[in-house]
Amino acid sequence: MAELTIKDLHVEVEGNEILKGVNLEVEKGQVVALMGMNGSGKSTLAHTLMGHPKYEITKGSIIFRGKDITKAKADERAKLGLFLSFQYPQEVSGVTYSSFLRTALKSNKQPNISVIEFHKLLHEKMRELDMDEKFAQRYLNEGFSGGEKKKAEILQMAILEPELAIMDETDSGLDVSALKIVGNGVNKVRERKNMAVLLITHYERILNYIKPDKVYVMSKGKIVKEGNSELAYQIDKEGYEKFIN
């Protein structure tokens, strides 16, 4: 049974149909890349999978780990093991990253974890990801560079250890050095957990660090091409036009 199965998914935003019958599968432990030009519907799919109320499912279904979550609320999906790494993480002044992570962990997986146990776990994960421990005492994403925001998302993923991580344009705004750090961090978390990843991007470059098992190409709200990792490199070489016309 697939970790995630999307069947004939149609989604509207304010009365406009954005997704027009998406079919997609992610197996446990797989990295699946969802590629496409800007405006193709990739981020709409990410937010729909996490249960954002703005995105109305008009037809189709989302099955996660054998459970139909089409009508489930966002917090229910998170507790089942879905995680979304945002393209543009929000800043929250006055809330330290450490406090945010402990609250998230208590809400989703370990309601009885003590402060001492949490900080031991936090520092362990930060060492694994080569992060300065002072990072945890900064306010959530406030004053963070683009690379720091993305590393913070990876730390959150390492703490929560989801069953499926949806990574929405994680490579956006990253230079080559930051991209390598983020890619290596994702691989460390994924391999330890045997976690599935749905990696949403329109550039091939992040796939040099996080190797996909399967690649889907989306255009105008539909999946128009499916293949293995070679498809991503073909797109990088030849462009999207060959696959979307």
Model confidence at 245: pLDDT above 70:
no
Q: Where are the domains of the chain?
A: 4-244
Model confidence at 52: pLDDT above 90:
yes
Q: Predicted confidence band at 139 (pLDDT cuts at 50, 70, 90)?
A: confident
CA-CA-CA-CA torsion sign (131, 136, 138, 140): positive
What are the pLDDT digits (tens) for 143-166?
787 778 888 888 889 999 999 999
* Average pLDDT, rounded, for the chain: 89
pTM of this structure? 0.89
Question: 151: which residues sit within 8 A by CB, 6+ positions away?
Answer: 129, 131, 178, 181, 182, 185
| Helix spans in the chain (H) | 42-49, 74-80, 97-108, 115-128, 146-160, 176-193, 229-238, 241-244
Model confidence at 137: pLDDT above 80:
yes
Burial class (CB in 10 A: 0-12, 13-18, 19+), 68: exposed
What are the pLDDT digits (tens) for 202-243?
878 888 889 999 999 999 999 999 999 999 888 888 888 877
Question: Domain 4-244's class?
Answer: alpha beta
What was the pLDDT predicted at 85? Answer: 87
What was the pLDDT predicted at 133? Answer: 82
Candidate from 52-66, 79-93, 118-132, 159-173 with smallest mean pLDDT? 79-93
60-83 average pLDDT score = 95
